[in-house]
Amino acid sequence: MRFYRHLRVCLLLAVSLFLASQPAWATKRVALVVGNSSYQNAPLLPNPANDAEAIAATLKGAGFDVVDSRLNLAASDMRRALRDFADQARDADIALVYYAGHGIEIDGTNYLIPTDARLERDTDIYDETFSLDRILLAIEPARQLRVVIVDACRNNPFADTMKRTVASRSISRGLARVEPTVSNTLIAFAAKAGLTALDGNSKNSPYATALVKYIAKPGLDLRRAFGFVRDDVLQATGNRQEPYVYGSLGGEDVALVPAPKAEELTQAANPQSEIRRDYELALQLRNKAALSAFLTQHPDGYYSNLAKLQLNQLDAEDARVAATEKARQAEQQQARLVSQGAQRADQEKAAADLKAAEEARIAAERTKQAAQEQAAEAERKRTASETAIVAALSANKPAVENTVADNPAAATPVQDDKVAKVAALGTEPPQTDLAKADIAKSVQSELSRVGCFTGTVDGQWNAASQRSLALFNRHAGTKFDAKLASLDALDAIKLKPARVCPLICDHGYRADGDQCSKITCAEGSFLNDDNQCEKRREKKPVAKRNTDERPSRADRSARERSAPTADVPRRQATARSGSGSSGQIYCDQYLCRQVNRGCHLEYRGGGGPGGNTGNVEVCH
């Protein structure tokens, strides 16, 4: 009995040692890839099917145990695919879902749309689509890591035609922000919440192209992989699309594909591995401060030459931006002189300046292209060289292991120096100021493009720049803080394809497209203070009385207020009475008397106490 007891203990120990010695690549990884392109009630999406095939091929090449690839799924097919994948995820360590197609956000919840959906009203969303929570529920049983990649942030044709059953129900562009409730879960969107993604002009979208490049890179932490994807997409779309990742992981590196041991041996055997890591970190930061700091620490050598090429590329890009801005200003100056009818000499000078600025811009563009090609070629050669070294070390693995065993110090990196160098690259004080100035300069340039900024693009975020951003907020309906230049504001301005702020012209000129045209009024009209043509009014003649024979101002006022016979009552007391009168009375400048019988009065003009003719007695 004692012998069997000892034997049982030995077997248990052996099994435990065997399980503990299993390599990391024994982790079970499963993936579901869905690409919906052929929608029955919406226009065709060409890229999702191509993107899904590229992602599936990448994951299969990375050694995933299960890669279930489905294309153009109707509602019933999609429901069945999710059920089958949930069964696969129950005993998996890593579960990944990639979806490309149409998606929609209603009241803060994201939904993925099958190809047979109609969505005639907003309540159909609950019957004909699948919420993102349903996808998360399918991968929840995975033990170590859960990843959902959603490339569905396109302009949705259903949102415009959908009938609203409740007016207050919110239907937004893009997808809504999410916060996973299960730990070790990442949700990656092709674009930031509320914004849309671009399909691009090639076979695959910019987002899928970057994913294929980084997602299955051996040993690359998943968070860094999505960071590289973000950088590539921003560069490919001119900063119009920024991918975003929601969720969090722990402090350990988490890679979809584990790093091969040959890479570790390469780093231990290569004396320049630290310099290479410093260079790659500076290259990842991709700004002048980081590259200059690297060159200060490593002024000579292979990687310093690569850093100089990258620095030349950044300098060429800055020169190109400056030349482009100068050409734009010269073009505006020429258009302004033409619209204002300036002298011919001034217009010819402006045309010559524009030609010189355009030639300088073309030259800067060529210089930037050449620098970019040199840097890219150098990087390609570096990658090929390092790949060859890894292959050689893998083929000569026993010799390398013996070298490391004979000299253990060669496999131990100098961590203190490494931390100091990384700190010098990552926390250089001028770097923050340069980044802020670059952002401010970019925002000023974009504000100028949409007609909201007329100052100099110099990166100084002064009062004029703040007023320009406030003006953009007013006309674009945004609410960005005008006191600072932010990346969010820059992205929003870049999304505007044309002028946002109205063109403001001087008095005497009116806006005509992107130029100010002089206002010409017709003959007989003039330009008023409101910049409008107004008909000129003719002055009417005003009658004036002859006051030479008037004795006094009091007499003139009295006569103007009364009729010619108004003075009769005043002078009646001096009238002569007679029996041969007709009953009429008339007055001259001395007295009033009755008209004789058989006579009558005729008005001869003038009259009143001033001594004019007035009424005359006529007798026959």
Residue range 167-222, pLDDT digits in tens: 555 565 557 677 777 788 899 998 876 677 776 677 888 999 999 999 999 989 89
What is residue 148's predicted lDDT score, i.e. its pLDDT? 94
Per-residue pLDDT of 289-321, as tens digits, reads 888 888 888 888 888 888 888 888 888 888 888
The CA R_g of the chain, rounded to the nearest whole Å, is: 45
Name the token pair of 519: 């206002």
The closest alpha carbon to 81, from 114, 37, 57, belongs to 114
Per-residue pLDDT of 99-142, as tens digits, reads 998 888 887 788 899 999 988 888 888 889 998 889 999 999 99
φ, ψ at 329 (rounded to 5°): -65, -40
384 SS3 class = helix
Quick one: 617 exposed, middle or buried, by C-beta within 10 A (0-12, 13-18, 19+)?
middle
- Separation of alpha carbons 559 and 573, rounded Å: 20
Do the beta carbons of residue 599 and residue 619 sit within 8 Å?
Answer: yes
Q: Within a 13 Å sphere around the CA of 594, how many CA atoms are in the beta-carbon half?
A: 12
C-alpha pair distances (Å), 22 with each of 64, 410, 577: 17, 27, 152
- Separation of alpha carbons 443 and 460, rounded Å: 11
Instruction: Compute the residue count for the chain.
Output: 620
C-alpha pair distances (Å), 481 with each of 116, 471, 488: 43, 12, 10
- Separation of alpha carbons 452 and 504, rounded Å: 10
- Separation of alpha carbons 491 and 445, rounded Å: 12
What is residue 401's predicted lDDT score, i.e. its pLDDT? 44
Instruction: Please name the amino acid found at residue 569.
Output: P
User: What is the domain partition of the chain in residue ranges?
Assistant: 29-248, 284-370, 451-526
- Separation of alpha carbons 598 and 619, rounded Å: 6
Q: Which residue has the tokens 């722990």?
A: 250
Q: Within a 13 Å sphere around the CA of 143, how many CA atoms are in the beta-carbon half?
A: 8
- Separation of alpha carbons 354 and 349, rounded Å: 9
54 SS3 class = helix
What is residue 7's predicted lDDT score, i.e. its pLDDT? 42
What is residue 11's predicted lDDT score, i.e. its pLDDT? 46
Do the beta carbons of residue 175 and residue 110 sit within 8 Å?
Answer: yes
Residue 131 β-bridge partners = 111
**Torsion of the alpha carbons at 60, 65, 70 and 76, rounded to the nearest 10:** -170
Do the beta carbons of residue 540 and residue 559 sit within 8 Å?
Answer: no
The closest alpha carbon to 301, from 324, 329, 274, 281, belongs to 274
What is residue 575's predicted lDDT score, i.e. its pLDDT? 42
Name the token pair of 342: 């300036």
| Chain centre distance of CA 448 | 14
> Which stretches within 477-587 are classed as H helix?
487-494, 553-561, 568-571
- Separation of alpha carbons 314 and 322, rounded Å: 12
Out of 3.30.499.10, 3.40.50.1460, 3.30.413.10, 3.40.50.150, the CATH code matching 29-248 is 3.40.50.1460
- Predicted model pTM: 0.43
Find the angle CA(234)-CA(237)-CA(242) to the nearest 5 degrees: 40
Q: Long-range CB contacts (< 8 A, 24+ apart) of 288-296?
A: 288/314, 288/315, 288/434, 289/428, 289/430, 289/431, 289/434, 290/425, 290/426, 290/428, 290/431, 293/424, 293/425, 293/428, 294/425
- Separation of alpha carbons 212 and 224, rounded Å: 14
Instruction: List per-block mean pLDDT (blocks of 10 residues) for the chain, which spans 620 residues.
Output: 45 45 62 93 86 93 92 93 92 93 84 89 86 90 92 72 65 67 85 72 86 91 91 88 84 82 50 74 76 83 84 86 87 83 82 87 86 82 71 52 42 40 39 66 88 86 90 89 86 82 78 75 82 76 58 56 47 46 69 79 66 70
Q: Look up residue 593 and give its DSSP letter.
A: E
Cβ neighbours for 99, distance < 8 A, ≥ 6 positions apart: 34, 35, 36, 112, 135, 148, 149, 150, 151, 152
Do the beta carbons of residue 519 and residue 505 sit within 8 Å?
Answer: no
